[in-house]
Amino acid sequence: MRPELPIGLTERRPPLETQQSTVWTRRQQAVCVRRAYKKYGQSSNPHVILDGLNMTVPKGCIYGLLGASGCGKTTLLSCIVGRRRLNAGEIWVLGGKPGSAGSGVPGPRIGYMPQEIALYGEFTIRETMQFFGMVNGMTPKQVDDKIEFLLKFLQLPSASRPVKNLSGGQQRRVSFAAALLHNPELLILDEPTVGVDPVLRQGIWDHLVHLTKDGGTTIIVTTHYIDETRQAHMIGLMRGGKFLAEESPTSLLQKYNCQSLEDVFLKLSVIQNRGKRRRSSILHDITAAIAVPETSPVPAVEALNSICDNSSEMSGEFGDSISPVPLSKRMSVCSMQVNNAEMELPPEANTKMTLFDRCKLFQSHHMRALIWKNFLWMWRNVAVMLFIVGLPVAQIVLFCLSVGKDPYGLHLAIVNHETNNKTCPPTGTCELTQLSCQFLHQMELRRQVLDFFDDEESAFRAVKRGKAWGALSFTSNYSTSLKKRMDDGQSATDWVLDDSVVSIWLDESNQQISMLLRRDLLFAFQDFAKTLAVTCNFSTKVVANPIQFNQPIYGPYVPNFTDFAAPGVILTIIFFLAVALTSGAMLIERNEGILERSLVSGITGIEVLLGHVVCQLLIMVFQSLMVIAFALVVFDVTNEGDVFWICLLTILTGLCGMCFGFVVSCVTDSERNATYLAMGSFLPIVMLCGIIWPVEGMHAITKSISFILPLTQSTESMRSMLARGWPITEPSVYIGFCSTLIWISVFLTSSVLLIKFKKG
Ligand SMILES: Nc1ncnc2c1ncn2[C@@H]1O[C@H](COP(=O)(O)OP(=O)(O)OP(=O)(O)O)[C@@H](O)[C@H]1O
pLDDT digits (tens, 9 = 90+) for 222-251: 987 777 888 889 988 888 888 888 888 888
Crossing angle, helix 382-402 and helix 561-591, to 10 degrees? Answer: 160
Phi-psi region of 526 (alpha: psi -120 to 50; beta: other; left: phi over 0): alpha
CB of 68 shorter than 6 A to ligand 1: no
Query: Which residue's alpha carbon is nearest to atom 27 within ligand 1?
Result: 69
Q: How confident is the model at residue 520 (pLDDT cuts 50, 70, 90)?
A: very high
Please state whether the predicted TM-score (pTM) of the whole model is above 0.80: no
**Does the CA dihedral 74-79-84-89 come out positive or negative?**
positive
Classify residue 19 by its DSSP letter: P
pLDDT for residue 331 is more than 70? no
Atom of ligand 1 nearest to the CA of 72: 18
Q: How confident is the model at residue 294 (pLDDT cuts 50, 70, 90)?
A: very low
pLDDT of residue 30: 84
User: In Å, how far are 200, 242, 289 from 310, measured between CA atoms?
Assistant: 45, 17, 14
Report pLDDT digits (tens) over 577-606.
999 888 888 888 887 788 888 888 888 888
Atom of ligand 1 nearest to the CA of 222: 25
Pocket probe mutation, ligand 1, options 40, 76, 87, 265, max atoms within 8 Å of Cβ: 40
Q: If you average pLDDT over every residue of the chain, what do you get?
A: 82
Across the range 689-712, mean pLDDT stands at 91
Atom of ligand 1 nearest to the CA of 238: 21
Are the C-beta atoms of 760 and 84 separated by less than 8 Å? yes
**Does the CA dihedral 117-122-126-132 come out positive or negative?**
negative
Q: Say how far apart CA 31 and CA 92 lie, in whole Å.
A: 6
**Does the CA dihedral 609-614-620-621 come out positive or negative?**
positive
CB of 611 shorter than 6 A to ligand 1: no
pLDDT for residue 329 is more than 70? no
Atom of ligand 1 nearest to the CA of 760: 1
Q: Say how far apart CA 214 and CA 10 lie, in whole Å.
A: 37
Task: Quote the ligand 1 centre to 753 CA distance (angstroms).
Answer: 25
Tell me the residue ranges of DSSP E strands in 417-545. 449-452, 470-474, 503-506
Q: Say how far apart CA 536 and CA 529 lie, in whole Å.
A: 10
Are the C-beta atoms of 394 and 387 separated by less than 8 Å? no
Quickly list DSSP for 326-344: -HHHHHHHS-TT-TTTTTS
Query: Which residue's alpha carbon is nearest to atom 10 within ligand 1?
Result: 40
pLDDT for residue 555 is more than 70? yes
CB of 46 shorter than 6 A to ligand 1: no
pLDDT of residue 559: 85
CB of 80 shorter than 6 A to ligand 1: no
Classify residue 48 by its DSSP letter: E
SS3 label, residue 726:
coil
**Lowest-pLDDT choice from 212-216, 389-393, 620-624, 714-718:** 212-216
Report pLDDT digits (tens) over 731-756.
999 999 999 999 999 999 998 888 77
Q: Say how far apart CA 201 and CA 629 lie, in whole Å.
A: 59
Task: Give whichever of 279-288, 312-321, 711-720 has the largest mean pLDDT.
Answer: 711-720
CB of 760 shorter than 6 A to ligand 1: yes
pLDDT for residue 298 is more than 60? no
CB of 69 shorter than 6 A to ligand 1: yes
Task: Quote the ligand 1 centre to 239 CA distance (angstroms).
Answer: 13
List Cβ neighbours of 87 (8 Å cut-off, separation of 6 or more).
Answer: 37, 38, 39
pLDDT of residue 490: 86
Query: Which residue's alpha carbon is nearest to atom 1 within ligand 1?
Result: 760
Task: For strands 47-57 and 470-474, give the pairing.
Answer: unpaired
Q: Say how far apart CA 172 and CA 196 lie, in whole Å.
A: 8
Atom of ligand 1 nearest to the CA of 41: 4
Task: Quote the ligand 1 centre to 72 CA distance (angstroms).
Answer: 5
pLDDT of residue 1: 39
Q: Which residue has the higher pLDDT, 293 or 375?
A: 375
Q: Say how far apart CA 533 and CA 543 lie, in whole Å.
A: 7
Query: Which residue's alpha carbon is nearest to atom 11 within ligand 1?
Result: 70
**222: which strand partners?**
65, 190
Pocket probe mutation, ligand 1, options 42, 50, 51, 71, max atoms within 8 Å of Cβ: 71
CB of 65 shorter than 6 A to ligand 1: no
pLDDT of residue 573: 94
Q: Say how far apart CA 154 and CA 141 lie, in whole Å.
A: 20
**413: which strand partners?**
451, 471
Task: Quote the ligand 1 centre to 49 CA distance (angstroms).
Answer: 8
Are the C-beta atoms of 452 and 395 separated by less than 8 Å? no
Q: Residues, the chain, total?
A: 760
List Cβ neighbours of 408 (8 Å cut-off, separation of 6 or more).
Answer: 446, 447, 448
**With a cut of 0.90, is the ipTM above it?**
yes
Query: Among 402, 407, 404, which residue's Cα sits nearest to residue 517?
Result: 407
Query: Which residue's alpha carbon is nearest to atom 6 within ligand 1?
Result: 40
Query: Which residue's alpha carbon is nearest to atom 30 within ligand 1?
Result: 70
CB of 38 shorter than 6 A to ligand 1: no
Task: Quote the ligand 1 centre to 74 CA distance (angstroms).
Answer: 7
pLDDT of residue 24: 64
Pocket probe mutation, ligand 1, options 74, 84, 87, 225, max atoms within 8 Å of Cβ: 74
**Lowest-pLDDT choice from 78-82, 175-179, 302-306, 315-319:** 302-306
pLDDT of residue 116: 85
With a pLDDT cut of 90, the percent of the chain lying above it is: 39
pLDDT of residue 27: 67
**Lowest-pLDDT choice from 346-360, 404-418, 672-686:** 346-360
Are the C-beta atoms of 415 and 473 separated by less than 8 Å? yes
Report pLDDT digits (tens) over 157-172.
999 999 999 988 888 8
CB of 75 shorter than 6 A to ligand 1: yes
Q: Say how far apart CA 496 and CA 483 lie, in whole Å.
A: 9
Task: Quote the ligand 1 centre to 588 CA distance (angstroms).
Answer: 21
Report pLDDT digits (tens) over 397-446.
999 999 888 899 999 999 999 988 777 777 777 777 888 998 999 999 99
Query: Which residue's alpha carbon is nearest to atom 13 within ligand 1?
Result: 70
Q: Which helix (H) or strand (E) holds 255?
A: helix 249-256
Q: How confident is the model at residue 385 (pLDDT cuts 50, 70, 90)?
A: confident
Q: Say how far apart CA 364 and CA 278 lie, in whole Å.
A: 57
Pocket probe mutation, ligand 1, options 73, 229, 242, max atoms within 8 Å of Cβ: 73
Report pLDDT digits (tens) over 66-78.
888 888 888 999 8
Query: Among 667, 665, 650, which residue's Cα sits nearest to residue 579?
Result: 665
Q: Say how far apart CA 391 and CA 372 lie, in whole Å.
A: 24
CB of 71 shorter than 6 A to ligand 1: yes
Task: Quote the ligand 1 centre to 40 CA distance (angstroms).
Answer: 9
CB of 223 shorter than 6 A to ligand 1: no
User: In Å, how far are 114, 160, 261, 381, 602 from 594, measured between CA atoms?
Assistant: 9, 20, 34, 17, 13
Q: Convert 537-572 to b/e letters by CB count within 10 Å (16 or more is b).
A: eeeeeebeeeeeeeeeeeeeeeebebbbbbbbbbbb
Task: For strands 242-247 and 88-93, give the pairing.
Answer: unpaired
**Lowest-pLDDT choice from 35-49, 98-112, 309-323:** 309-323
Query: Which residue's alpha carbon is nearest to atom 23 within ligand 1?
Result: 70
Are the C-beta atoms of 68 and 266 separated by less than 8 Å? no
Q: Which helix (H) or strand (E) holds 460?
A: helix 456-464
Chain-centre distance for alpha carbon 503: 59
List Cβ neighbours of 223 (8 Å cut-off, separation of 6 or more).
Answer: 64, 66, 191, 192, 193, 229
Chain-centre distance for alpha carbon 199: 42
Q: How many CB atoms lie within 10 A of CB 426?
A: 19
pLDDT of residue 288: 45
Q: Which residue has the higher pLDDT, 645 or 345?
A: 645
Query: Which residue's alpha carbon is nearest to atom 5 within ligand 1?
Result: 40
Query: Among 583, 706, 728, 577, which residue's Cα sits nearest to residue 647?
Result: 728
CB of 78 shorter than 6 A to ligand 1: no
Query: Which residue's alpha carbon is nearest to atom 29 within ligand 1?
Result: 70
Q: Which residue has the higher pLDDT, 392 or 558?
A: 392
pLDDT of residue 461: 96
Task: Quote the ligand 1 centre to 205 CA distance (angstroms).
Answer: 26
Atom of ligand 1 nearest to the CA of 115: 27
Pocket probe mutation, ligand 1, options 42, 47, 53, 75, max atoms within 8 Å of Cβ: 75
Task: Quote the ligand 1 centre to 191 CA distance (angstroms).
Answer: 14
pLDDT of residue 443: 92
**470: which strand partners?**
412, 506
Q: Say how far apart CA 158 and CA 148 lie, in whole Å.
A: 10
With a pLDDT cut of 70, the percent of the chain lying above it is: 84
Q: Convert 438-471 to b/e letters by CB count within 10 Å (16 or more is b).
A: bbbbbbeebebebebbeebeebbebbeeeebbbb
